Amino acid sequence: MTEPTRVAIVTGGARGIGRGCALELARRGLDVALVDLLAPEMVRTKGEIEALGRRCLTFEADVAEFARAEEIATAVEAAWGRIDVLVNNAGKAQPKGILEIAEEEFDRTIAINLKSCFNYIRACAPRMQKVGAGRIVSMSSLNAISGGVTAAVSRFAYASAKAGILGMTRALAKELGPNILVNAICPGLIQTELAKNHVIVERGAELARNGIALGRVGTVDDVAQIVAFLATSEPCFISGQEFVVDGFQYHR
Ligand SMILES: NC(=O)c1ccc[n+]([C@@H]2O[C@H](COP(=O)([O-])OP(=O)(O)OC[C@H]3O[C@@H](n4cnc5c(N)ncnc54)[C@H](O)[C@@H]3O)[C@@H](O)[C@H]2O)c1
């Protein structure tokens, strides 16, 4: 009997790291549903996934909305019969400091970067339990560990949300184990739209020379490879962990 095709949901999958993860999962044989605010970019990524011979669904949605997550999980399950993998990747920088930020801006940063993970895990975990197995990988950040850097694109509110992901990851690895594996990635400086206009231009070259052991900033593929490994490798004895993907950035 042939194995059923596995199914992944990737939030923030239209571009950047999420797009890279979606394409790598498609290369490894999974059908992929994308959730993002950017409809045209999602259509482009969908075309790339289909060119790899895999199916793709797109959902224009704000990951901060709890009810949409349930609707999307229901639609994916109705279309393809299962959900095996969730990549909680959608996220947004927040450059304001504690003395400048408004309450709504703090709440929104937490909603996009942290509550989004709750929304999609809450919707997908029961369906993974039905399948009898599941993999969840959430995108935290080096900022969660380092507290960010002065003049960085993302300060305390982002660091708070991304650190929350690490606690959620450990707790849910226990709660959802042994069949559902839950891990987090902490990327350092990765060359994407999010980083392009800020840190890469200002600090990337200098950091690559004097602050990153591997001598360069990261690429989307550097992150996508470990996400895909955690999402697909069999067997896998890894859960509740955070993986720093930063080329060893020692000047944080
Ligand atoms: N690039 C880096 O250096 C870096 C470093 C550490 C962590 N990260 C994290 O990696 C993840 C991906 O970042 P990226 O660099 O690819 O950024 P990006 O801006 O290129 O991509 C983020 C994607 O998420 C989507 N998104 C944002 N808010 C959304 C919302 N409310 N609802 C639905 N979709 C939404 C965007 O439309 C976009 O497609 C983020 O969680 C980010 O915090 C990035």
Handedness of CA 7, 8, 9, 12 (dihedral sign): negative
Residue 153 maps to which CATH number?
Answer: 3.40.50.720
Residue 191 near residue 218 (C-beta atoms within 8 A): yes
Q: Is the CB of 194 under 6 A from ligand 1?
A: yes
Determine whether the shortest distance from the Cβ of 190 to ligand 1 is under 6 A: yes
Q: How far does residue 18's CA lie from ligand 1's centre (Å)?
A: 7
Residue 122 forms part of a structural domain: yes
| Domain annotation covers residue 86 | yes
pLDDT digits over 169-222, tens only? 999 999 999 999 999 999 999 998 766 655 666 667 777 777 899 999 999 999
Greatest Cα pair distance, the chain, in angstroms, is 61
- Domain containing residue 121: 7-244
* CB of 192 sitting under 6 A from ligand 1: yes
pLDDT in tens, 116-174: 999 999 999 999 999 999 999 999 999 999 987 655 678 999 999 999 999 999 999 99
Residue 250 in any domain: the answer is no
Residue 248 predicted with pLDDT over 80: yes
User: How close is the Cα of 13 to the center of ligand 1, in Å?
Assistant: 9
Q: Is residue 233 part of a domain?
A: yes
| DSSP letter for each residue of 8-75 | EEEET-SSHHHHHHHHHHHHTT-EEEEEES-HHHHHHHHHHHHHTT--EEEEE--TT-HHHHHHHHHH
Single-letter amino acid code for the residue at 206: E
CA distance 95 to 143: 12
pTM of the model: 0.97
**What is the count of structural domains for the chain?**
1
CA of 188 to the centre of ligand 1 (A): 13
